[in-house]
Amino acid sequence: MNNTRIEHDTMGEIAVPADRHWGAQTQRSLENFKIGGQRQPKEIITAFAYLKEACALANAEAGKLTAEQTGAISAVCREIRAGKWDEEFPLVVWQTGSGTQTNMNVNEVIAHLAADRGVSLHPNDHVNASQSSNDTYPSALHIAAALSIEHQVLPAAARLGGAFQELENKYPDLIRIGRTHLQDATPLRFAQEVSGWRALVQMPIFMLRTAQEELFRLAIGGTAVGTGLNAPKGYDELVCAKLRELTGLPFQPDPNKFHALTSKDALVFAHGALKALAANLMKIANDIRWQASGPRCGMGELHIPENEPGSSIMPGKVNPTQCEAVTMAAVQVMGNDAAIGFAASQGNFQLNVFLPVSAYNFQLSARLLADAMESFRVRCVEGIVPNVERMEENLNNSLMLVTCLTPKIGYEKAAECAKKALHDGTTLKEAVLALGLLTAEEFNETVRPEKMV
């Protein structure tokens, strides 16, 4: 039984699986780029489905497509966005650097699915009308990035920030010893430390919002080299208006298409905000796992949820696995940032040809951060409980409470007290009294952690 059909393009004929809706150019790419196996991100295909529908609607208003053709394209694009045809987009990341074959994969699938509905469309003449891969892939890249930030990263970050806010509110008066340089420092409230963790999540939200403004500017309308050849006048604004209706995001034309086709600076800027978030998450996760270390021979100032056995050889061992997952995700995001930055530096003449690898790394970062924050919140942060007894023990044992004595006895005498207590293995109070610097009553009145926070 013959399980292929013959498709053709400008290079001739080629056999395509009979049960698939792609065409000749998709098949050629499948056969020519058997590299890696990482497919184009689903978010890019979804972005193309938004863009192709918007382009069709704009072409209809410009008189380049009939209502029937436009309706067929729109219907297929909605099904693609719903995930109905995911297996029709098999192309790998490691293909032509402009993403031309992915653009054509989308064009061919739309045309074939429209034909199933009785509407004849040519993938280039109709689905790709007024477009080039050189302006559609950069536009899809921005659309996908903006959607991922808006619908994945920002909501997950807001929920994680909210979880820290709840933890902060739950323990307003608990005082613990601070630490700088991994050494004892002056006291602070546990809620104050948690407020720092909260802000470490919330500040990158502001950065991402700022970055979104750059991603909203699209290359569409620039066609091959930025001149807009074969696109109707005002086409770029018309497409963006349709995209605003379809996505709810304020997309607009990049005013300089020669910049839009060759530069990926907006993506670098936006991913920089993702990297900032990753760096902050790394810090938070490290803080929590250090403070939960133990349970008996570490700091042990926090209890975190016990989610699974931690060792195949040590019975009863439980590890801070959610913290470890977050930090691994953060490491990957930092690596992705290096790849995106280098790719963006390679825009030669009128086009950057590192688009698929940029899309792949950006979408990987967005998914990792969104998923890691959600898992971290549900399986760790929401279950954090301070070990009040250990916090109080460490607070009372700290020599850095001596700092509040400085106004009374001076920096050098205070340092002498701290060093004597450490050397003799006594309390700070015992050292002060032994040196005759204060009475017991004066010490008790001065060294009060609640006044130091």
Active site residues: 181, 311
N residues, the chain: 453
CA distance linking residue 240 with residue 249, whole number of Å: 10
Q: Are 22 and 6 in contact (CB under 8 A)?
A: no
What's the N-to-C CA distance of the chain in angstroms? 80
CA distance linking residue 304 with residue 315, whole number of Å: 18
Which residue type sits at 81? R
Could you give phi then psi for residue 348, rounded to 5 degrees? -100, 130
Could you give phi then psi for residue 235, rounded to 5 degrees? -60, -40
